[in-house]
Amino acid sequence: MEKRKLGKSGLEVSALGLGCMRMSFGDRPVGDKQEMISFLHAAVERGITFFDTAEVYGPFTNEELVGEALAPFRGQVVISTKFGHNIDTTRGPGFMAGLDSRPEHIKQVAEASLKRLKVDAIDLFSQHRVDPDVPIEDVAGAVKDLIQAGKVRHFGLSEAGAQTIRRAHAVQPVTAIQSEYSLWWRTPEDEVLPACEQLGIGFVPFSPLGRGFLTGKIDENTTFISSDLRSRSPRYTPEARKANRVVIDLLARIGEQKGATPAQIALAWLLAQKPWIVPIPGSRKLERLDENLGSLAVELTPDDLRAIESAISKITVQGDRYPRELQDQTGR
């Protein structure tokens, strides 16, 4: 497995990571626990060393799953988890009462995550969404305290804007920024990726396959259950999916030339952007995992990349990626 370093931090991980959210959160039915443990073991056997979770996934159950499954591989894998939500269990299982990145709360979350993950230190601890009520300097300072205490190794941010990244980095060096990035969501290229390059920060794209759309296996006739985020996202309405098939057509044409699937072309394109980019496609099936790993063998030449750029520049993707209330939490 090819390895990559997240910026200048020295944190080395597999070139492709694994997003673990959907193993126990995000839609129903969730994965069977024992099947998911076996799946995570298979991912390690295939060379994946970078696993992403968060306290809010479940909530809590995803961290517990990842912690139990990866316990035999301590020292061989890197686990990334996230803080920043107010999970009020007194108002129902998993009730979300907004954001909470107060320093005292961050430290409480760290202690709880350490127990669920069964580790002595959290490899990468990231703010899940920027909290407008807490200065980012206070957030960075709290994580800095945790690093100095040996409870956290690296600090990250998710869906933060460039100005916030710079302010946080001035207090505690940021190892990685996690944000959505793919051939059909390229907003990070405007300001966030240049900031990462300047500051020496790694970049971890989530939803690198457009929540499944870029695999080519979703069309306007696909239905989503109500608990699936895609059921209420403008980009996944039947009309938008029909209009956005032109992106899949492009990936399929290139894939035919390379002997690769649309998903493999989408991931290979991301990997070709910067050597410090590490996508974390989510999966629960071995065939999908193996397909994703096949992207590492796809070579896109400079001419290929220019052709893709020219073609994609003529396509206008339809629909926002999030419902308004979630979109407002990004890019702060």
Do 270 and 1 meet the contact criterion of CB atoms below 8 Å apart? no
Which residue is associated with the tokens 């993707």? 317
Helix axes 245-258, 262-273, angle to 10 degrees: 90
Burial class (CB in 10 A: 0-12, 13-18, 19+), 312: middle
Residue 250: closest CA among 190, 322, 182, 203: 182
57 is catalytic: yes
CA separation for the pair 160, 108 (Å, rounded): 22
CA separation for the pair 7, 175 (Å, rounded): 7
* Sign of the CA dihedral running 119, 141, 97, 211: negative
Active-site residues, by number, are: 57
